[in-house]
Structure 1
Amino acid sequence: MKTTHTLPFTLAACVLALAGCASTGSHVDTVDQAFGASAQKQSIRFPDAGSAWLKGGTFIDVEQLRRIGRGMTKNQVRELISYPHFGEGLFGPKEWDYLFNFRTGRGDEFVTCQYKVVFKDGVSDAMYWKDPACADYLKPKVVEAARPAPVVAAVPERIRLGADALFAFDKSGPADILPAGKRQLEDLVVNLKSKYKKLDAITIVGHTDRLGSASYNQSLSLARANTVRDMLAQAGIDRHVIRTSGSGETQPVAECAANLPRAALVSCLQPNRRVDLEVLGQ
């Protein structure tokens, strides 16, 4: 049910009279905002809250109330926080009293505070709260900025294919892929398509052992990486996300003695003959 309050006749007459008053344009010092302290409260008398003509007070615009300061005319005060809520007149009295309601932030709960503006020589001179704790409702709320989620660098999936299982010894072309190598590539394609919704980048690096010249091994390693790329593309992997390179013999993972018989040396160096893949995707 909505309750309508009517201003008493004398107050209504004062309101009409006040509407014709002009502002003096007095400077408002925003530093001197509403305050209250126990030492001040002892010498300040507040009217009984039940005697207010505006029963229950009003939900004040906190931003407007923060603008109240010393040196303001009554017109300027009225423009910000309206007429006083007690029947104390508008012109002669040197004190205006209010009942302001503030939300506590707990559902519909609110508190009611008594507020007083004291005038001297026609302008506001001091502002008081009956309960000094009410001044806290004017403090700007500090909202802790939401911290952005930490950026976690994507970790690529690393896949290693043995070159000896893919290709015939010392070979690199599609026709040189062994049956076991074809099965490896088929399984790789199935894994990529089932695991990733979207492939962002695939890096393929070919490697050789140290047998042969450095230039020959560089060419062989790159050729094997390119062949793996072509096989993946033929199986439906987007060629545009694939990059290839050859490292030749420069990144061995196994070290072998030079005086080993050749067959034993070839076997010992087998881990170095490989194709490494790094996969990034969603």
Structure 2
Amino acid sequence: MHSSIKQLLMTLAVLGALGSLSACGNLSRGVAPDGHAADTLVWPAPGDTTPMHKGGSFPNVSDMRRVKAGLNKQQLAALVGFPHFSEGVVGVREWNYLFNFRDANNKVSTCQFKVLFDQDKLAQSFYWKPESCAKYQQADALAESAPSSEQFILSSDALFTFDRATVADITDDGKAQLDQLARNLLTHKTRVENIHIMGYTDRLGSDTHNDSLSGRRAYAVMNYLVEQGVPSELIQAEGLGKSDAVKDCTDSERDSLIACLAPNRRVVVLVSLTGIGGDSQRGVN
């Protein structure tokens, strides 16, 4: 009985020693006491991850951005997990990862990430292979990967002849505006997630008429864009009548009032995109 236990303990000790020797071959040499550099950085082969980390992981880019010098091992693990290779966890001063990142075109990039710790086991320096992958740890990478939107505002007075709302009623100037919009959408079609077209009227006339007119104009714009090659499955259109007025007018004379209310007669095209940071608004007149 005692000999069996002794043999088991010896076996575990040998396996532990072999594991340590294997790990040593993957560790960088001459890591500085402050963790800011190493004499030689050693990168493990991507295929040498532990079985549970085979193929790497897809880290949260927002969490990746929060990885900074001064984190202890538990804090680092809470953000990006424990190391993916067999260098160990507690006593070592280096952790290695295999990360995958998906861009706006659905292409996956695989990157190796290395963390060096100081003598107090606080993370101090970070390395990427290839170096271009460092963008995923920077603020700009988050902005580039975040969804964004562009808003195009088109004047209904310029788009359509008076009180009309079919594709045939779109003016030459209106067609020129929509042709340019279609070209923009097709140029960035791999990043377009959704196109929301909203028609609006001014407050003159009945609600029933305004709701119908704004809806028919929104659908006319949608149909025109589809004719130019914009995928119909990306587009939704609706009429919102006199709601969301952008200008309030008190003119009593009808012609002056109609002119004053012109900004409310509009078609808004809201384009949801991936891969471009920030929101923008464009007026097309």
- Say whether the 8 Å CA contact 2:214–2:239 is kept in structure 1: yes
- Say whether the 8 Å CA contact 1:205–1:225 is kept in structure 2: yes
Q: Residue 278 of structure 1 corresponds to which residue in structure 2?
A: 270
Q: What is the CA–CA distance in structure 1 between the aligned matches of 2:189 and 2:89, rounded to whole Å?
A: 54
Q: What is the CA–CA distance in structure 1 between the aligned matches of 2:214 and 2:270, rounded to whole Å?
A: 16
- Say whether the 8 Å CA contact 1:205–1:244 is kept in structure 2: yes
Q: Residue 127 of structure 1 corresponds to which residue in structure 2?
A: none
Structure 1, residues 263-282: CA drift from partner, whole Å, max 9, x if none? 10000000000000011245
Higher relative contact order (CA 8 A, sep 6+): 2
Greater Rg by CA? 1
Q: Residue 216 of structure 2 corresponds to which residue in structure 1?
A: 223
Structure 1, residues 224-256: CA drift from partner, whole Å, max 9, x if none? 000001111111111111100111001100000
Q: Residue 265 of structure 1 corresponds to which residue in structure 2?
A: 257
Residues 34-113 of structure 1: matches in 2 within 5 Å? 73=6, 75-81=7-13, 103=24, 105-107=27-29
Q: What is the CA–CA distance in structure 1 between the aligned matches of 2:9 and 2:170, rounded to whole Å?
A: 90
Q: What is the CA–CA distance in structure 2 between the aligned matches of 1:158 and 1:190, rounded to whole Å?
A: 15
Q: Residue 185 of structure 1 corresponds to which residue in structure 2?
A: 178
Give the TM-score taking structure 2 as reference length.
0.51
Distance 1:138 1:273, change over 3 A: closer
Greater helix share, structure number: 2
The alpha-carbon deviation at position 182 of structure 1 amounts to 1.3
Q: Residue 117 of structure 1 corresponds to which residue in structure 2?
A: none
Q: What is the CA–CA distance in structure 2 between the aligned matches of 1:106 and 1:178, rounded to whole Å?
A: 69
- Say whether the 8 Å CA contact 1:220–1:248 is kept in structure 2: yes
SS at match of 1:157: strand
Distance 1:274 1:76, change over 3 A: closer
Q: Residue 93 of structure 1 corresponds to which residue in structure 2?
A: none
Q: What is the CA–CA distance in structure 2 between the aligned matches of 1:185 and 1:217, rounded to whole Å?
A: 22
Name the count of aligned residue pairs: 169
Structure 1, residues 184-206: CA drift from partner, whole Å, max 9, x if none? 11111122222333532111000
Q: What is the CA–CA distance in structure 2 between the aligned matches of 1:196 and 1:172, rounded to whole Å?
A: 27
SS at match of 2:185: helix
Q: Residue 204 of structure 1 corresponds to which residue in structure 2?
A: 197
Q: What is the CA–CA distance in structure 2 between the aligned matches of 1:241 and 1:214, rounded to whole Å?
A: 29
Q: Which letter does structure 1 place at the counterpart of 2:258?
A: V
1:253 maps onto 2:246 in alignment: yes
- Say whether the 8 Å CA contact 1:23–1:76 is kept in structure 2: no
The alpha-carbon deviation at position 163 of structure 1 amounts to 0.3
The alpha-carbon deviation at position 171 of structure 1 amounts to 1.4
Percent of aligned pairs with the same amino acid: 31
Q: What is the CA–CA distance in structure 1 between the aligned matches of 2:13 and 2:98, rounded to whole Å?
A: 34
Distance 1:186 1:25, change over 3 A: same
Structure 1, unpaired ranges of 5+:
1-21, 27-72, 83-99, 110-136
More moved, 196-205 vs 209-218 = 196-205
Residues 153-164 of structure 1: matches in 2 within 5 Å? 153-164=146-157
- Say whether the 8 Å CA contact 2:148–2:273 is kept in structure 1: no
Q: Which letter does structure 1 place at the counterpart of 2:253?
A: P
Structure 2, unpaired ranges of 5+:
15-19, 32-87, 102-135, 137-141, 275-285
Structure 1, residues 49-106: CA drift from partner, whole Å, max 9, x if none? xxxxxxxxxxxxxxxxxxxxxxxx4x45544447xxxxxxxxxxxxxxxxx9894933
Q: What is the CA–CA distance in structure 1 between the aligned matches of 2:229 and 2:90, rounded to whole Å?
A: 63
Distance 1:76 1:146, change over 3 A: closer
Q: What is the CA–CA distance in structure 2 between the aligned matches of 1:182 and 1:198, rounded to whole Å?
A: 24
Q: What is the CA–CA distance in structure 2 between the aligned matches of 1:154 and 1:186, rounded to whole Å?
A: 25
Distance 1:138 1:216, change over 3 A: closer
Q: What is the CA–CA distance in structure 1 between the aligned matches of 2:165 and 2:89, rounded to whole Å?
A: 78
More moved, 230-239 vs 198-207 = 198-207
Q: What is the CA–CA distance in structure 2 between the aligned matches of 1:269 and 1:146, rounded to whole Å?
A: 59
Q: What is the CA–CA distance in structure 1 between the aligned matches of 2:184 and 2:221, rounded to whole Å?
A: 15
Q: Residue 124 of structure 2 corresponds to which residue in structure 1?
A: none
- Say whether the 8 Å CA contact 1:157–1:280 is kept in structure 2: yes
